[in-house]
A and B are shown apart, each in its own frame.
Chain A
Amino acid sequence: MKAVIAENISKQYNGKPAVEKVSFEVDEGEIFGLIGPDGAGKTSIFRILTTLLLPDGGSAQVHHWDVVKDWRAIRNAVGYMPGKFSLYQDLTVEENLHFFATVFNTSIQENYHLIEEIYVQLEPFKNRRAGKLSGGMKQKLALCCALIHKPKVLFLDEPTTGVDPVSRREFWEMLKKLKQQNISIVVSTPYMDEASMCDRIASIQSGSILSIDTPQYLVKNYGNQLFKVKANDRYRLLEVLKSVPSTKSYAFGEYAHISVEKGHQMEASEIRQHLHQNGLTGVEIGDAEVTIEDCFINLLH
């Protein structure tokens, strides 16, 4: 059984399309990622799937329930973590968790095994008000609250935005563990490096899905030549690289990446020469290992 099926769902706001004919399927026990920049329509898709918004066109099922007809059943069975921190800031960590457990007709004890690992980190702060937690702690608490009723499908809208890198990594480790409990997860993120943590990813831009693949497939089928370059004057390096014909270049960590367009071939020595001619010193150039980020930059351009 599929956890989520979306067929050609569309949504408009005041005539402006926010989601255009988006279709995808999420398997049971899968981490499905929606990757795209702000304003791509991720939140609208989440809200349609969690029955908070009615789609203008198309249909969608969550756990074989229709999002329009069976909204009540869906609301009982899914966990939802909105993009904005949405817990009670003036209640303590424990009070928030207790409240949401009760709202979902369960108790903290009943499903403690699901949240145990996250909650032990929160435990020292259990009497602190949620509004006074750090960004990472807030998101962990929100995840606990969304999980406390053992949902069949978990919808996480940008759960790691505004969270430090260490906490982000921990957060994703958590998601992988939840997957083993056979909870299907739909997660969105603007961070491309997080995409590789998903089983499959849909890249989305301006309301449309560009591709749906496994991260491994995307990396394997990158296809283009990719170089990494370093020079003493980084700013000038990026400027000069723009003038190399039939290529795309962008900063990537301490390096700059140069992606050669399809159907073109280029030698590292050619680029090196070009850079020297433009007066750059300390040039280092070599083949780059393709990452998921390179794939997306390629897709989005």
Chain B
Amino acid sequence: MKRLLVFIKKEFTHVLRDKKTLLILFGMPIVQVLIFGFVLSNEVKNTNLLVIDQAQDSATKEIISKVQASVYFNIASVTFDVKDVEASFKKGKSKAALILPKDFEKNLMTKHVAQVQILADASDPNHATTIENYLTAIIRDYTNSLNTTMPYTITPEVRMLYNPQLKGAPNFVPGVMALILMLVCVMMTAISIVREKEMGTMEVLLVSPFKPIMVIVSKVVPYFILSMLNIVSILLLSVYVLGVPIKGNVLLLFAESALFISTCLSLGIFISIKTQTQQVAMLISLMGMLLPTVLFSGFMFPIENMPFPLRMISNIVPAKWFYIIVKDIMIKGLGFAAVWKESLILMGITVFFLGISIKNFKIRLA
């Protein structure tokens, strides 16, 4: 036991003395959370909007002020001429235009029907759709506020559950958690074990009473602890900086994270056993783990839209299951009953890789 403690202490010393590793370990999660949370969001904020108000009555004024009040739009200018729209789009001065035609209020009051036109620059289709949704919502809001009972009107009442404002961060935080744990646990453990081989220290350790399996255990413990610290820092960032609350049980979230960390560590051990140099270990971790995590975990590209073979592949990517678990617990606030299946799959993957790692562990060189 004392030997194991000394070994673990040694591993911590390695990590703490290597400034680059430290930077990767603690700098990267913070940077990634912030990048994904702020920069890479698909939210639409402060879109420049051109308003063509041909009616200029109290109803249109009210709509314009409602649009102005929302954080999503900046009203670039209010004009009268429809021709301005194209010029403004082409110069990139605005991304959308709201056209309120003549006699807007009159039509609304007398015919109970009034039309507005929304023009959006659809060179970025996602952006255009989002703008359209926001504007429609604002106008619907206005219509409702008129409180006129209109016969035979069906108004769909859309509610975006769990993420009502369609914020990007709730979607990204679970994904980033999966990504970072994958990177830190898989790559760092793989490299740190292979480093012993490459530096020749494994040769000395093998010719000692120290059981090889203990080498692995002592490598895993520090990275497990460091990864848990990373989880804490990611969660703190997401709650206090990105404003994504943890709806579910925090303890359950930590327990599931610990499970996923174990999965990643077992993968890292497996890679380290199969490779001989740090470079190869790093390449395999990056290409073999990071890429599938980004592609198949579902947080960047929806898995439902993938062709069948790729959907099958996504099933063996551990990050996919962790992503589902974190979303369920953190965003939806569900309990263990909702995620036990995913947890079981992760456990299975962990046991599988640990098993073949132990079976493949070489007690000799070559």
Contacts and interface: CB of A to CB of B under 8 A. Distances in A.
Contacts, number: 76
Contacts of A78: 207
A51 B201 contact: no
A87 B207 contact: no
A48 to B, nearest CB: 10
Interface stretch (B2-10, B41-49, B280-288, B298-306): B2-10
Contacts of B209: 72, 75-76, 103-105
Given A86-B201, A90-B17, A52 B206 contact: yes
A99 B14 CA distance: 13
B10 A95 contact: yes
Given A53-B365, A88-B14, A99 B207 contact: no
A163 interface: no
A47 to B, nearest CB: 6
Contact of B3 (A47, A71, A105): A105
A91 B13 contact: yes
6 contacts: A75-B209, A80-B204, A86-B201, A87-B204, A100-B208, A103-B205
Contacts of B199: 86, 88-89
B10 A88 contact: yes
Interface string A87-114: 1111100010011101111000000000
Most buried by B among A50, A51, A87, A88: A88
Nearest to B16: A90
Contacts of B3: 102-103, 105
Given A53-B364, A103-B3, A82 B203 contact: yes
Contacts of A80: 203-204, 207
B157 interface: no
Interface residues of A, number: 32
A16 interface: no
A286 to B, nearest CB: 47
Interface string B41-71: 0000000000000000000000000000000
Contacts of A90: 13-14, 17-18
Contacts of A50: 207
Interface in B191-214: 199-201, 203-210
A60 B208 CA distance: 19
B366 A99 contact: no
A84 to B, nearest CB: 5
Contacts of A271: none
Contacts of A95: 10, 13
Interface of A: 47, 50-54, 71-72, 75-76, 78, 80-82, 84-91, 95, 98-100, 102-105, 145-146
B200 A85 contact: yes
Nearest to A47: B365
B363 interface: yes
Nearest to A79: B207
A86 B204 contact: yes
A261 B168 CA distance: 88
A186 to B, nearest CB: 13
A104 B208 contact: yes
B15 to A, nearest CB: 10
A75 B363 CA distance: 11
A34 B266 CA distance: 42
Most chain A CB atoms below 10 A, which of B204, B364, B365: B204
B207 A51 contact: yes
Nearest to B203: A82
A16 B28 CA distance: 47
Interface string B247-282: 000000000000000000000000000000000000
A75 B10 contact: no
A90 B209 CA distance: 23
B207 A103 contact: no
Contacts of B17: 90
A146 B364 CA distance: 18
Contacts of A81: 204
A299 B140 CA distance: 101
* Residue of B6, B7, B14, B203 with most chain A CB atoms under a 10 A cut-off: B203
Contacts of B365: 47, 52-53
